[in-house]
């Protein structure tokens, strides 16, 4: 499998952030990518550098005003004589209230939804190249690759049409999905990050071509707090285009795998030409997000299940913050994802195996030389 990566993410160093009244170091540190790179190299995947696809695919998802804000916020903040990073102090999120003449402080309170998503000197560059990483991997799918993995940092799934939040700025998965929709028509996104992908949901709320399924810890007292319930099923132009599977805190392996099955059934019902996976590893039991208490072996099962679907699949990196175990869980998922076909054909592994017994749901992939 081809993996797309660029070291340009290192320019983004969030530093300390404030959440729920507590100041703490951001969990989105560059070392996350080092752990994921070790996983990718240990499995022998090809790593290639991201190409520049320009700003128009970004503008197909995000508003002009928001992109301009991201690109200039840090510079304008400094010009105002403010020290440090761009962090909002007051919030006004009603769309009708927006004013282009606002100060950078006011704009930050419109475009950034929390205080864990600071903009520093290197944030725009890193976010831009994370989106380009997703686009480069999506272009590989367009060129005929069955699977590709975009190692994006910062992540993207909390970023909406005109806002960032949850340590995300540009919605990499959504940008890739819309880019792929030009060629594939119908696209499905499955989001297995422990947090609800509120930005992705909002972007595709009324888009009948893109189906969005998300499994996550219930938003009750958990980020992003306001969205992610089963009642949210899509707008009038795209009824049932959203499928949320919220789970109780520390739901564990069986509930997680079963919830993924529910999401996949919805994904296949949409009959997509291509699937995008918002790939978070923060449901892991040892992750500091303490969301769903999922074990490493279950990530391998989930990787197998997703990898066995007979569609082109693009993996886009989202969360995952346990620096000690991130390499291991990524190896598990990727091993399952890339070996799904041989797993399914092994009669010993198949006997009485719930993964194998569900293969009737979808045909298997045809063999490819490089998985």
Q: Which residues bind Zn ion (CB under 5 A)?
A: 193, 195, 280, 282, 319
213 contacts: CB under 8 Å, gap ≥ 6: 188, 189, 190, 191, 242, 243, 244, 245, 263, 264, 266, 267
End-to-end C-alpha distance for the chain, whole angstroms: 5
- Judged by CB, which is closer to Zn ion: 126, or 139? 126
Nearest CA among 205, 219, 197 for reference residue 292: 219
Could you tell me the two tokens for 96?
Answer: 């009708």
- Shortest Cβ distance from residue 195 to Zn ion (Å)? 4
Residue 358 neighbours by CB distance under 10 Å: 15
- Judged by CB, which is closer to Zn ion: 214, or 343? 214
CA 87, CA 99: separation in Å to the nearest integer? 19
Contact 350, 358 (CB under 8 A): no
Could you tell me the two tokens for 169?
Answer: 């700025």
Q: Largest Cα–Cα distance in the chain?
A: 68
Please identify the residue of the shown chain whose CB is closest to the bound Zn ion.
319
| Per annotation, catalytic residue among 9, 158, 196, 270 | 158
- Shortest Cβ distance from residue 356 to Zn ion (Å)? 30
DSSP 137-204: HHHHHHTT-SEEEE--SS--TT--SS-BBTTB-S-HHHHHHHHHHHHHS-EEEEE-SSS--HHHHHHT
CA 158, CA 175: separation in Å to the nearest integer? 13
317 by Cβ neighbours in 10 Å (0-12 / 13-18 / 19+) ranks as buried
- Shortest Cβ distance from residue 194 to Zn ion (Å)? 5
- Shortest Cβ distance from residue 310 to Zn ion (Å)? 28
User: Does the annotation mark 158 as catalytic?
Assistant: yes
- Judged by CB, which is closer to Zn ion: 88, or 165? 165
- Judged by CB, which is closer to Zn ion: 149, or 223? 223
Contact 92, 110 (CB under 8 A): yes
323 contacts: CB under 8 Å, gap ≥ 6: 29, 31, 32, 35
CA 36, CA 358: separation in Å to the nearest integer? 30
Nearest CA among 310, 292, 201, 204 for reference residue 248: 292
- Shortest Cβ distance from residue 321 to Zn ion (Å)? 8
- Judged by CB, which is closer to Zn ion: 104, or 156? 156
In eight-state DSSP terms, residue 8 is G
- By annotation, the residues acting in catalysis are 158
């Amino acid at each position: 499998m081809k993996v797309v990566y660029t070291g340009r993410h290192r320019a983004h160093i969030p530093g300390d952030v404030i959440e729920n009244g507590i100041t703490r170091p951001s969990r989105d540190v560059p070392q996350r990518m080092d752990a994921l790179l070790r996983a990718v190299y240990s499995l022998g995947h090809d790593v290639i550098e991201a190409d520049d696809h320009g700003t128009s695919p970004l503008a197909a998802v995000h508003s002009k005003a928001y992109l301009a804000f991201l690109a200039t916020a840090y510079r304008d903040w400094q010009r105002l004589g403010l020290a440090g990073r761009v962090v909002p102090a007051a919030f006004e999120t009603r769309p009708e209230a927006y004013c282009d003449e606002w100060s950078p402080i006011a704009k930050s309170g419109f475009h950034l939804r929390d205080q864990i998503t600071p903009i520093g000197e290197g944030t725009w560059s890193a976010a831009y190249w994370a989106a380009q990483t997703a686009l480069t991997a999506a272009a590989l799918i367009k060129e005929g690759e069955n699977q590709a993995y975009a190692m994006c940092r910062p992540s993207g799934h909390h970023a909406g049409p005109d806002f960032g939040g949850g340590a995300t700025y540009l919605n990499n998965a959504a940008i890739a999905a819309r880019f792929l929709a030009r060629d594939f028509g119908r696209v499905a996104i499955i989001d297995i990050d422990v947090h609800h992908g509120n930005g992705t949901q909002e972007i595709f709320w009324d888009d009948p071509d893109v189906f969005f399924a998300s499994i996550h810890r219930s938003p009750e007292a958990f980020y992003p707090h306001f969205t992610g319930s089963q009642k949210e099923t899509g707008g009038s132009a795209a009824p049932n285009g959203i499928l949320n599977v919220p789970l109780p805190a520390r739901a564990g392996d069986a509930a997680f795998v079963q919830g993924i099955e529910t999401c996949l059934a919805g994904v296949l019902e949409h009959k997509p030409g291509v699937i995008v996976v918002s790939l978070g590893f923060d449901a892991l039991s040892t992750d500091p997000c303490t969301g769903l208490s999922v074990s490493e072996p279950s990530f391998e099962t989930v990787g197998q299940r997703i990898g066995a679907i007979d569609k082109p699949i693009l993996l886009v990196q989202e969360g995952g913050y346990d620096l000690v175990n991130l390499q291991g869980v990524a190896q598990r998922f990727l091993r399952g994802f890339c070996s799904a076909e041989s797993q399914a054909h092994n009669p010993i592994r198949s006997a009485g195996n719930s993964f194998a017994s569900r293969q009737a749901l979808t045909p298997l992939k045809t063999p490819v030389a490089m998985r």
